[in-house]
């Protein structure tokens, strides 16, 4: 699990990118700062705990707006629902546990964006590269496998 992300004041953050400040937007930003790599259902539950009744569609709408202005990044590891995080713009990667689905950030090994120079771009203007490492998290490595019951 990733540590809590230190973010600037959510109100100032929203204003800086020209978004209107609403209670659902502030609540989503705060939820993502507490729990990076969250899926929509978890974010919606966190927002409801703060605001009361908020529809899942409203949370999707907020996430789309935040993603469109570059405050939030959507990642989609294979076999997982879309996950959202606020660490953007630094070309970091992710490691995913094959057993429990835990996700953690992995800094770029070169400190910059070497992956953006592809061996062949086929005419595309490449602006992002995603790398996902797969393995087993420490919690799953130390948990003995259950024997099947007969």
Query: How far is it, in rounded angstroms, from Cα 65 to Cα 72?
Result: 9
Domain boundaries, the chain: 10-75, 89-139
Convert the pLDDT of each residue in 68-77 to its tens digit. 999 999 999 8
CATH of domain 10-75: 1.10.10.10
* 10-75 matches 89-139 in fold: no
DSSP string for 78-90? TTS--EEES--SS
On average, the pLDDT of the chain sits at 86
pLDDT of residue 116: 64
pLDDT at 21 over 70: yes
Q: What's the pTM value of the predicted model, to 2 decimals?
A: 0.80
Convert the pLDDT of each residue in 92-133 to its tens digit. 889 999 999 899 998 877 655 556 667 777 888 877 777 888
pLDDT at 149 over 80: no
CATH superfamily assigned to domain 89-139: Ferric-uptake regulator, C-terminal dimerisarion domain (3.30.1490.190)
């Amino acid at each position: 699990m990733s540590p809590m992300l230190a973010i600037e004041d959510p109100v100032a953050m929203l204003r800086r990118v020209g978004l209107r400040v609403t209670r659902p937007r502030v609540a989503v930003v705060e939820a993502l700062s507490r729990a990076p790599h969250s899926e929509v259902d978890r974010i919606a539950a966190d927002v409801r705990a703060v605001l009361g009744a908020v529809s899942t569609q409203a949370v999707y709408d907020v996430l789309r707006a935040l993603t469109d202005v570059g405050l939030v990044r959507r990642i989609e590891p294979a076999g997982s629902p879309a996950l959202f995080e606020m660490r953007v713009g630094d070309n970091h990667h992710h490691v995913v546990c094959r057993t429990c689905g835990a996700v953690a950030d992995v800094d770029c090994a070169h400190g910059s964006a070497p992956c953006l120079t592809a061996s062949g771009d086929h005419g595309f203007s490449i602006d992002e590269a995603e790398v996902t490492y797969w393995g087993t998290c420490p919690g799953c490595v130390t948990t003995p496998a259950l024997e099947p019951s007969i």
